[in-house]
Chains A and B, each alone.
Chain A
């Protein structure tokens, strides 16, 4: 190598090391931010926390699962009118009422895992979730749930149906008709599938 080539190589390597350092610094800063925001994983009140454009997909990097306490309203409107596309971590909706949790989150495509208890009420949790395709449930769905706006995949529809309570009565689960027909083909196939949950009313819209 001549001098020019050596200097060029040194500059390029220095730039790479600098960029790596900047990236590592940003990563550390991000970790520190979320460590504080989520109080080391102990935070339990997330009402409105990620609503509107407070966070983008780039800046929303939770370090811990989102765990809502049993206190009323702790899980309400968490992602209301959010611009996020993915919840990235599991959400433990122990809160009795998660009204509006994803209301109007029009870009939201994926809810990684939503852990609910039989008394969790959804109210308007999924209103106008026009882009929601993927949702995985854990726990028991024991109250009315309305997903009529969402083009859910078959796997997601099955996740809902398979987690509705076997002992509840007088409860309704609502789905987008086009999503169900795309997933199951015909109403007969759908009826055959939901026959395993005779204690639930299912509506399509």
Chain B
């Protein structure tokens, strides 16, 4: 039997987690993923970033 442990990051209220490319309030990292790559930003900052995405 094999047990796999996945790190789950949960953002504080009003915050969103990001690794610079992806976003989430709950982040279930791939097994072996590096949690230090993720940081919190405010929801307001996140919305501004999303709005600036536009069409590529």
Which A residues fall within an 8 A CB radius of B?
77, 80, 99-100, 103, 123-124, 127, 144, 146, 148, 169-172, 174, 177, 187, 190-191, 194-195, 198-205
> Can you add 7 more A-B contacts, CB < 8 Å, to A148-B23, A203-B25?
A80-B55, A177-B26, A200-B30, A201-B33, A204-B27, A205-B24, A205-B25
Residue of B nearest to A146 (CB): B22
Contact A202:B28 (CB < 8 A) given known A144-B21, A172-B22, A191-B6: yes
A174: chain B residues within 8 A (beta carbon): 22-24
Interface size on B, residues (CB 8 A): 21
Contact A77:B55 (CB < 8 A) given known A198-B30, A199-B31, A201-B30: yes
Q: Binding site of B, secondary structure by majority: helix, strand, loop or mixed?
A: loop
Q: Is the CB of B8 within 8 A of A124?
A: no
Distance in angstroms between the alpha carbons of A73 and B30 in the assembled complex? 30
A201: chain B residues within 8 A (beta carbon): 22, 27-30, 33
Shortest Cβ-Cβ A-B pairs, 6 listed: A203-B24, A198-B31, A204-B26, A172-B22, A202-B28, A201-B30
A172: chain B residues within 8 A (beta carbon): 21-22
Q: Is the CB of A195 within 8 A of B6?
A: yes
Distance in angstroms between the alpha carbons of A195 and B4 in the assembled complex? 8
How far apart are B34's CB and chain A's nearest CB, in angstroms? 10
Q: Is the CB of A127 within 8 A of B8?
A: no
Q: Is the CB of B27 within 8 A of A203?
A: yes
Q: Is the CB of A198 within 8 A of B56?
A: no
Distance in angstroms between the alpha carbons of A201 and B25 in the assembled complex? 13
Residue of B nearest to A194 (CB): B28
Residue of A nearest to B30 (CB): A201
Check: B13 CB closer than 8 A to any chain A CB: no
Contact A205:B8 (CB < 8 A) given known A100-B55, A124-B56, A170-B30: no
A99: chain B residues within 8 A (beta carbon): 55-56
How far apart are A165's CB and chain B's nearest CB, in angstroms? 12
Q: Is the CB of A198 within 8 A of B23?
A: no
Distance in angstroms between the alpha carbons of A204 and B33 in the assembled complex? 17
A195: chain B residues within 8 A (beta carbon): 4, 6
How far apart are B42's CB and chain A's nearest CB, in angstroms? 14
Distance in angstroms between the alpha carbons of A177 and B8 in the assembled complex? 14
